[in-house]
Structure 1
């Protein structure tokens, strides 16, 4: 019975996690629509509020509208007129204390992560963590700022060290390049290896012996 139970878990666990992530994402989109509709309903007179509430309760409408708004915003953002409005919006938001700090930080991070020519997760590395006798998989995210490089006085790299089994959290670290080891595995393979706590070997390492070690940079 134990063997059959474990086999069943191995079948259902990936599907359950996938459904949970999709459900969470769809719920987030629907929640955004619900918040906007609640504000609109509060403004309109009572005779219109019931109709708006009925529209709000239609299944799937919130998700569809939010997705369409995102696509429409992206369509405008890549054209000249849309870029002009985005510059106006950025100037407006950057004049609001506290809000401008959060907005600019999130904007820079999202641009770096989603841009095709960004430096985010450019390669998988091995770094010494949490002590000199152990190694962990990290991802190079770029180079230190000029001021940091000048004060450190050596060749350093920015790395993100994800946690297991949730790679969305982790640590940002600046480490000497000579103390890192570049891996042949892709970023996607390294993420799978981390999430699986090392139980899923990368495809690029299949066929290699355990005695082989990656070459330092």
Structure 2
């Protein structure tokens, strides 16, 4: 009886640990990209303020008292920070700018520790800021082996020349969802899931440790794709 009760206690502790770890990882996936974005903006704001304060403060001091000057310097630093971010966005969308950013990225990825941090942050931010409309529905595909199911995202649908309903399916890799496999398969080969794209992506990034508390959605009978 003593051993049985101890085993039950140990199992409950393990379950609790697994659940807490899942919640922690899910929280990181949800919060970290936003926190990093705000933190980087705050650092940029401080940097701009430190650079502009020595010459902007005296100029504004000619027209305003000391307290308004401090406030106006901060407002000016905030506006300049936004302009810098928008300017970076303009560069990133330009062909020459993309080449420059790619060169900087290649330099960063050659530094061991910095490379890992940069790639991790980039993956998370790309996931958060990617338009969710591109993923119509989560689905299963029997791949790469018979009896083995892979989670993917339906990106489009079309009808082939022989009137077969086809879908395009993207199956991401773990833990890097920015790479993966692209398939064009008949609609009847996939199994649509009652699982939203956010939870599916969390599962992929964390290797199944976060994203859903239960697997009631699996398996789901084959059916039509939701519009």
TM-score by length of 2: 0.47
Greater Rg over alpha carbons, structure = 2
TM-score by length of 1: 0.49
